[in-house]
Structure 1
């Protein structure tokens, strides 16, 4: 379900694994970045009129509750199947994507899911 040599995946991987205690595994056929809990996936899907639409080059992340409404109003973001009802969002990536924004989204998701000691390590 993903190309291990995808250059966008390599960039997301570098950002995600730079966070304290972060690791990677393949979950449901996609790269997942986690500490005790997953904080981001690379790639996702939505269900549109009964048809699965794949978002191969994307991040799926958990935004902060205060940020979610603004992100949902931005047409670049989409609600992924399965994780969407739990508050997760997706963002498609390409060569024009602001990687600073991606790093912020990954960090925010990390802060919501990582143990307090790892969040404290990030803040140091």
Structure 2
């Protein structure tokens, strides 16, 4: 094995996710209700192998919400501590812009991963 390959083999592996922050005219944030866990969270999900965060966010929105609008800029990159048997990770959060009631009502949940989505002013902390 080459020295570079040896070094790379020692590097830590982290899970990586991408999420999208949508707001409405009243300043509320869109949260999704997953079918597989109890907590509501920002739409998005894990990156696939060799997938860039922006592309993962677009893919996840299409899969989870049937949404195909444009994404805005990167808002934040955050560290997520290990929890519930999951390793530490990094989350990229993109700006989804403003949603109106018509856009919210038009959302569908094609893959069954999401039960519902709605704008909320306050909620429990979002965890991954």
Do they fold alike, i.e. is TM over 0.5?
no
With a CA cutoff of 8 Å and minimum separation of 6, indicate the structure with the bigger relative contact order: 2
Q: When you count helix as a share of all residues, which structure comes out higher?
A: 1
TM-score (norm. length: structure 2): 0.28
Per the normalisation by structure 1, the TM-score is 0.28
Give the structure with higher Rg (CA).
2
